[in-house]
Each structure stands twice: as structure tokens, then as C-alpha cells.
Structure 1
């Protein structure tokens, strides 16, 4: 069991509550309830439950917990002198499982759909599942890290999608974008989603999908995702469709940046000399 492994790693002896002695269980549950109440009060004082990112939320929780733990400082200091030294390494704080990458360049784990680069199609990956991320391995080689997704309370699947992983298949079948289950998660920034909504409203579906896929491919292949998003946002604000020809020219490769490769052709008579030498 994971709890037994945790106790063994840190040299702790696990104990159990005595049956029928309710206050022993309450000794743990009550502080937990007080902490939840303190977090709720801190959120009310803050005035918002929205955070910019996970790191900001964790910092907020750390501050609440630190304030509550400060009162226990003297007792912790008294016990610290007789505590055992920590092990040289942390215990395993992840679960490990094996997944197979499907032909759609994806896999599903814990009711969450993840995309990965197409080169991994057909491979079996070893996944270390942390609270906030997934580390992917082939054998002992670390490939990449993905943010961990969550399924929804209504039972529907979550999606962690990177458009760069699936753009090549979309270029072959642009119309797939129209019915894509994870389409909203596919767009890397809000202007891309807004642009697609305008394209669908103004153009035939086939043309709208083809142009949107081209925009995503341009963002990936020309490494201009942020700059292109700014241009698309300006088009949305001006209530106009993107000028595809102008964008192709703007983000086309710079000829001056291309290397000037000179290939010197070998005279064919050299091969005659080589063959004559082998014959001799």
C-alpha cells in the first residue's frame, strides 16, 4: 500500500484509531475543518476566487497555512530536536501507469484526453501522474511534461490539447475542425477562437475550416503565435476577416535569412577513373 510505503520511507510507525473512540478521529478531522473555514474566510476577504495561475493559488494557500501553523511554532521547535533526519530523497509522490498513443496522436488517462507529438503514435509510454502534471517516458528517457487535466463533475471528459500536436493531421482534413470535440481547447489564444467564429459566420464551412487550419499551421511553422494573435485580435476589433494573402506575405520566410548553398558538381570523368582503377 502507498501509505505503508510512505511510512517505511520516512521511518514512521503507523497506528490506528481505537474502535468506538470518536474523539481520536475528530482530532484529525477538526483541524481539517478549521483549515477549510480559514481558506473560505480568506477568499471572502480577498474578494475573488479567481487566480492568474496555479502558482498564485498555491502561494495564497501557503500564506493561509503558515498563519495557522505559526501558533504551533514553539511546540514544533521543541520536537524538532529529537526528530530523525530526513531521507536523502523524497518519497514517490506520483502514480505510474502505461498508456498507448493512438492513431490520433493522443491517449486518454483518468477520463482526460491528452495530445502528444505525432512521432509517438503507436508507442507505449510510461506516465508518472503527479497532482499537477504528467511526466512521459519511453523506457528511462524523459520525453515531455504535460499539465494534468481534470474530468468534469457531470462525467464528461477533460481535454489537454496542444494544436501543434495535431495540426499536421488537420491540414490533411481541415473539415474535421468543425466537429472536433476539443475544438475550443485547440485554439492557443482567444483571438484564434474569435476569428474562427467570424469565419464560420461569414464563409462556407469548408473555406472557413481551411483558412482557420492555415492560420494555426502558420502560427506553428513560422513561430509567430503571439504576433499573429495580435493581428487577429485587431481584425476582430475592426469587425473584418483576416487577409490571408497579406498574412502569408508577412510571415513568409525571409529570403535574406536563407543560407546561400553552393554545390560543386564532381566531373563525371572522375567516375571513369574510379571504375578503371577497380577493374585493374
Structure 2
């Protein structure tokens, strides 16, 4: 097949079939053309033993415009697609860069991004074990426009989720973030879940970590709450919400509880 590299296995199969069949039949059984079979018969090495080609078979068609026109555009907007750059070249250089060069340009752009393009932030996959991690957060609900008797109801939503099972609990908080709201929401969630995870993770909750006036008191009370339920407290790095992982994925209009597994009784 045109454009397909022949493997060592195909060569071995062809040579085996060639002992009992004609070249045409042996080539067909090995999945190669007769022309390729003739070349294989004359070759002294297997395909895997051939040195890799490190030279160009033809001149780079974008060599004259690469540094002067293409690279400046990529540095300005690294996400530009090859088809966009090709259209730009076609406008400036009429009849010089046909659409058939698109794949070649895509390969050059891919190599440039890998070697000289902007660095990408690395995200490691998050894996969870049953009964290990529970997560808490407060969400502002003003954008929903909830009203009571025509008056806007400013409130928060306390949200708790078990990372492994995706079991969720939510409760309305009439007021701001506070230790009382956190403690009440967390305890209700644990009792409804029927157990406690070994770790409780939060998104730098002000109620637990950074109350400017009563920081020390709140931290002590939060630590006592975790100790009472046998949990270890952890938190995300500030400003890195993606560290929540499952917590961000679980935010949806409908919260369907899933039975938690391997939890200790509160």
C-alpha cells in the first residue's frame, strides 16, 4: 500500500510464502505490492535495520518566508492555525503556496511550537481512593437572581463532595463565610453520608484559614472540628482552582447522591 512502511514481520512472511508460491501470490499474502516484493528480495537487511533518514528529500518551500513572515506571526499569536498562515501567504505571494502545502506547513509549525513555542502548564492526573478525600467550598449565588417577596436573597451555597464516589451535599447559607456555616454544613454532610473521609480539603476557606481578626481562634476551632471527626485538613494553593479536580467537575445544577464507600462512622 502506498505510503505504508513494510515491517519485519511482513518481510519474514513474504520470504516464507515465497518458497511455495509465486512472487505475486507471496506478495499478496504478505500485504505488499509486487514492486515492493522485488525490492525486498534484493535487500540485504530488514526494514528495522535500515538507518533513519536525516536529510531532506526536497527543498523546504517555506524557507524564504519562515523567519521573516511566519515566525513573527507565530510569536505574536502562537495559537494561529496553519490554514490561517497559509491564506496570509497566498495573499502576499500569489500562486506560490498552493493548498497542497498545508500539511507541510502544519509539520513545520508543530516543530516550532515544540522547540521554540510558549511553554505549557503541566497537569498531572488526579486519582482518588474510596473514603480518603472530602472537599468543601462556598459558592456565591447572586447570579441566579433568587428573590423572596420581590426582595433579592443574597446567600451562599455550602457544597461538599466525596472525591471518589462523587456523592454530594449542599445547603443554603444565609450570610457570609463563617466558621459556624462551615461547621454546620460539614457536620450535616458527614451525617447524611454516613461516615467521614480521612482527609478534608478546602479552597483556602476564610472561615478556616484567614479570618483577619480571629484567625488564630478560627484555626484552633477548625482543627478541633477535624480532630473530632478524625480527619486531616488540607487546602489548595491560593489561586490554583484546578487543584480541586473533582470538586470543579461536580458543580452542576442537579446533585445526584452516590452511595459512599469505606467510610468510618462520625
TM range (shorter): under 0.3
Determine which structure has more spread, i.e. the larger CA radius of gyration.
Answer: 2
Task: Calculate the TM-score normalised by the size of structure 2.
Answer: 0.22
Higher share of residues assigned helix: 1
